[in-house]
Amino acid sequence: MRKTIAVVCLSLFLFATLWWWNSTSSLSNAPTVVPTDAPAAIDPANTAAHSTALALAKKHEADRENQRDKASASTDQAELWQRSDQAQQELQGRGILPVDLAGEVYVQLNTAYLQRLRVGDTMKIYIPQLGKDMAATVDHVSDHDNGDRTVEANFPGMAKFFSAVITSGKDATYGEISTPSGVYLLEAAGDYGWIAARGDLVKNHWSGHNDGVYPPKHTATN
């Protein structure tokens, strides 16, 4: 009887030992779980700041567009010249006016604006003898090798032979404006000049005078 009890106890001991060994082995062979970083929480303050920055960027771009539109509109409304008493004083003081001028009106040119004109631009051409501006559209621009620039423009809605041709250089500007009311000529030295009807100049013309604004003296070369 005692022998039987001893055998049973030994068997239980061996079973318990084997069960413990298997349990330990299973735990050691189990895959190791590495904790991962949890996704960063979205900071409402950062999201609001980003949205504000985008809104400001869009507003600044819209402001720049408005400024460009205003600048373009300002250019379209600019006049090539306007009446000027200062121009009369300057030109008469220099003694460079043709002696048989008739019906002329003295003007101050916007030469910087003239140099910026491009094909497709619109402008106002002031005819003082008619007391009005004429809207014109630039249809051709020529930049010459000597630095002069010729701008040709038409009057929308009018026949194609009604047009304006203006050539501007470093020291002088010459123009011819053909309108339904007649042809008008422009001559200027620097920013100061005059505009007159060709018919008035022809009626008052006499030989032996200077036809325009020239340097005081020419030197002939062979």
Note the pLDDT tens digit of each residue in 163-203. Answer: 999 999 989 999 999 999 999 999 999 999 999 999 888 88
| Model pLDDT for residues 9-65, shown as the tens digit of each residue | 556 555 556 555 555 555 455 555 555 555 555 555 567 666 777 777 776 666 665
In 3D space, the residue among 79, 162, 94 whose CA is nearest the CA of residue 128 turns out to be: 79
Instruction: Judge if pTM exceeds 0.75.
Output: no
User: Cβ contacts of residue 83 below 8 Å, gap of 6+?
Assistant: 105, 106, 107, 126, 128
Whole-number Å distance between alpha carbons of 198 and 23: 118
What single DSSP character describes residue 80? S
Hey, which residues does 82 pair with through a beta bridge? 108
